[in-house]
Chain A
Amino acid sequence: DTEVTQTPKHLVMGMTNKKSLKCEQHMGHRAMYWYKQKAKKPPELMFVYSYEKLSINESVPSRFSPECPNSSLLNLHLHALQPEDSALYLCASSQDLLAGMTYEQYFGPGTRLTVT
């Protein structure tokens, strides 16, 4: 089973709202990722968690706040977003993140976010 699930599938929020995106995997993977994808573009890495600790933050604005409550769950908390933040937000996971090793990433279906 290589399934990563994401909720909700679609989200519409105003610029003053607070909302959260959720991601879950049950493959025993120890690394989890958030990506942002604009239409007709490749995904852009936002955050990487390894063993529930933030490993990489690609200079993402503070209105995006990630959280990894346990090894299976990854959240992305959203606050005071701008219309240009509207995009598909993809979660991914991989077995591990060890230096010198390569692990393929498995993606979820994404959350389509619209900021009004």
Chain B
Amino acid sequence: GNSVTQMEGPVTLSEEAFLTINCTYTATGYPSLFWYVQYPGEGLQLLLKATKADDKGSNKGFEATYRKETTSFHLEKGSVQVSDSAVYFCALIPYNQGGKLIFGQGTELSVKP
């Protein structure tokens, strides 16, 4: 079946530290991959996406590369800020199942000044 596995949180970093949140997936065919961010008390915001192998999604200093050989889509940021504190969800939409957004469990990030 289709599934997404994320590293467990919470992840606590100091401001300006390098961030990596690991995400691996299981899916048949070529899924599309997404990172969503949820700030406290809010809904989900689409952070970035990639739709085919070797695509790199980027937004607001965050990047993730679609790696088919390792079935991974790790989220990275070179220098985190306190305002990046949130829960990050890795997700996929299986090929040919447009409505089925499948989420990982979420990783809580806390950035300290």
Residue numbers of A with Cβ under 8 A of B are: 4, 6, 31, 33, 40-43, 45, 48, 50, 55-56, 90, 92, 94, 96-110
Contact = CB atoms under 8 A, between A and B. Distances in A.
Given A42-B89, A50-B99, A107 B106 contact: no
Interface of B: 32, 34, 36, 42-46, 49, 51, 87, 89, 91, 93, 95-96, 98-101, 103-106, 108
Given A42-B103, A45-B101, 12 more contacts: A4-B43, A31-B99, A40-B106, A43-B103, A48-B99, A96-B98, A97-B99, A105-B101, A107-B36, A107-B46, A108-B43, A110-B43
Contact of A105 (B46, B96, B104): B46
28 contacts: A31-B98, A33-B99, A41-B106, A42-B89, A42-B103, A42-B104, A43-B44, A45-B100, A45-B101, A50-B99, A55-B99, A56-B100, A94-B99, A97-B98, A98-B98, A99-B96, A100-B96, A102-B32, A102-B93, A102-B95, A102-B98, A104-B49, A105-B46, A107-B43, A107-B46, A109-B42, A110-B42, A110-B43
